[in-house]
C-alpha cells in the first residue's frame, strides 16, 4: 500500500542572491511500512525533500499525496493537523526544549485532545523503550548526544505517527553511538510505520529497504530505475562534500 507519493517534485528558492533549484522533478513512491534512506552530497536537496514530505514546505511544482490525498487540498490549519496526527520528526540537532525535562519534551507534540495522564504514560513507555527510564527528570544539557537523540525519537513517536521523517539523525553523534541510535530508531518504530531517513553515512543506508540517491535535486538513475535497491548497488558512491547540514 502506498503511503506517500511525490510526482514531478520541483523546488525553486528565489532570494536576493539569485535562484536555487533544490529539487528538479522528483518522482517517488513510498509504501506503508517501508524504511527508506535518502543519501547524497551536501546541497543535493535531501532536507528540502524531507520538508516537503513533512508538510513543512510546499513544492514549487508537482504533487505530494499522503494517504492517497493530494496535500494541496488542505488549508494551513488542516495541513498542521494532518502533520501532527501523521508525522513524527527527528532532527540532527535534536530540537529539544532546554527548559523542559526529558519526559516533558516527549509530551510536547502530544495532541491537545488527549488526556494528560495518558500522555505521561505514553511518554514514559517510549522513554523506557529507548533505555531512558532513569533519565525522565533530566534536562537536555544533562544528557549525552545519544541520549538527547533518544529523547527526540521518543518525542517523534508520541502521537503514533504513520510516518517518521529523520534528517541526519546521527549527524552529531560518533559512529558507534550513531549506529546504536539508528538501530534503536528502527527497533522502537513499529513495522507498520514508514520511515524516511536522510543520512550522510552510507553504511547506515544499508539497514534500509531502499536507498534514494539525490544529486543536484535529481534522483540518480540506474538504467531505467530511479531507485536502487541496496543489494544492487556497486561500491561506487557519489562524491560528497563531507559537510553535514
Ligand atoms: P541537503 O539537505 O541535501 O544538504 P538542502 O535541501 O538543504 O540540501 O538544500 C538544497 C539546495 O537548496 C542548496 O543549494 C541550498 O542552499 C538551497 N536551499 C535550501 N533551503 C533554502 C532556502 N530556504 N532558501 C534558499 N535556498 C535554499
Ligand atoms: Mg540537509
Express each pLDDT in 80-116 by its tens digit.
999 999 999 999 999 999 999 999 999 998 876 678 8
CA distance 39 to 73: 30
CA distance 86 to 160: 8
CA distance 59 to 51: 9
Nearest CA to ligand 1 atom 14: 43
Smallest Cα–Cα separation from 30: which of 183, 191, 211? 211
pLDDT digits (tens, 9 = 90+) for 196-233: 999 988 888 988 999 999 999 999 964 334 454 554 44
pLDDT of 79 reads 95
Q: From ligand 1's centre to the CA of 167, what distance in Å?
A: 13
Question: Which ligand 1 atom sits closest to the C-alpha of 167?
Answer: 2
Q: From ligand 2's centre to the CA of 134, what distance in Å?
A: 32
Nearest CA to ligand 1 atom 1: 43
Question: Which ligand 1 atom sits closest to the C-alpha of 49?
Answer: 6
The residue written with cell numbers 535534536 in the block is: 94
pLDDT of 110 reads 85
pLDDT digits (tens, 9 = 90+) for 35-68: 999 999 999 999 999 999 999 999 999 999 999 9
Q: From ligand 1's centre to the CA of 175, what distance in Å?
A: 25
Structural contact between residues 119 and 155, judged by C-beta atoms closer than 8 angstroms: no
CA distance 205 to 226: 16
- pTM of the full structure: 0.89
CA distance 202 to 122: 33
Q: From ligand 1's centre to the CA of 43, what distance in Å?
A: 6
Amino acid at each position: 500500500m502506498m503511503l506517500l507519493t511525490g510526482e514531478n517534485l520541483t523546488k525553486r528558492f528565489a532570494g536576493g542572491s539569485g535562484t536555487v533549484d533544490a529539487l528538479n522533478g522528483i518522482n517517488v513512491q513510498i509504501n506503508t511500512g517501508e524504511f527508506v534512506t535518502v543519501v547524497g552530497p551536501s546541497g543535493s536537496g535531501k532536507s528540502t525533500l524531507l520538508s516537503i514530505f513533512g508538510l513543512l514546505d510546499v513544492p514549487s511544482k508537482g504533487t505530494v499525496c499522503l494517504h492517497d490525498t493530494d496535500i494541496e487540498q488542505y488549508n494551513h490549519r488542516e495541513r498542521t493537523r494532518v502533520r501532527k496526527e501523521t508525522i513524527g520528526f527527528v532532527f540532527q540537532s535534536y530540537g529539544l526544549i532546554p527548559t523542559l525535562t526529558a519526559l516533558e519534551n516527549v509530551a510536547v507534540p502530544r495532541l491537545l485532545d488527549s488526556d494528560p495522564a495518558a500522555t505521561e504514560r505514553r511518554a514514559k513507555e517510549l522513554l523506557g523503550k529507548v533505555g531512558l527510564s532513569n533519565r525522565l527528570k533530566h534536562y537536555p544539557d544533562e544528557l549525552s548526544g545519544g541520549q538527547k537523540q533518544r529523547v527526540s525519537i521518543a518525542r517523534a513517536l508520541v502521537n503514533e505517527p504513520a510516518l517518521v521523517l529523520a534528517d541526519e539523525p546521527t549527524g552529531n553523534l560518533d559512529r558507534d553511538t550513531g549506529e546504536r541510535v539508528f538501530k534503536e530508531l528502527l527497533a522502537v518504530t513499529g513495522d507498520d510505520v514508514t520511515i524516511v531517513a536522510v543520512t550522510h553515512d552510507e553504511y547506515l543506508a544499508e539497514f534500509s529497504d531502499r536507498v534514494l540517491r539525490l544529486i543536484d535535486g535529481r534522483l540518480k538513475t540506474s538504467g531505467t530505475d530511479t531507485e536502487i535497491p541496496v543489494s544492487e548497488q556497486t561500491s561506487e558512491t557519489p562524491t560528497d562534500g563531507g559537510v553535514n547540514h
